[in-house]
Amino acid sequence: MCLSTIYKNQKTPENIAMKNVMQIDCKDGMVILTDLMERQMAIEGDLVMANLVDGYAVVRERSTLQ
């Protein structure tokens, strides 16, 4: 089983959004994360990259400033 840690904007410890993520869905401008306990988190933004070998992904948050 491959579980990942998801980071917001860049891969740094203070930017961890969720650990033990088993599923990532992208829909309507949202990245929806589901962890091993089936808890969900939605981040408005885009999936930038995923490294499945090292078990992490980066989501770029959409800026609220227009």
Residue-wise pLDDT for 44-57, tens only, equals 999 999 999 999 99
pLDDT at 31: 98
Residues 46-56 as b or e (16 or more Cβ within 10 Å = b): eeeeeeeeeeb
Question: Which pLDDT belongs to residue 2?
Answer: 82
Q: What is the mean pLDDT of residues 25-38?
A: 97
What phi and psi values does residue 3 have, to the nearest 5 degrees? -115, 150
Give the separation between CA 32 and CA 5, rounded to whole angstroms: 13
Q: How many residues does the chain have?
A: 66
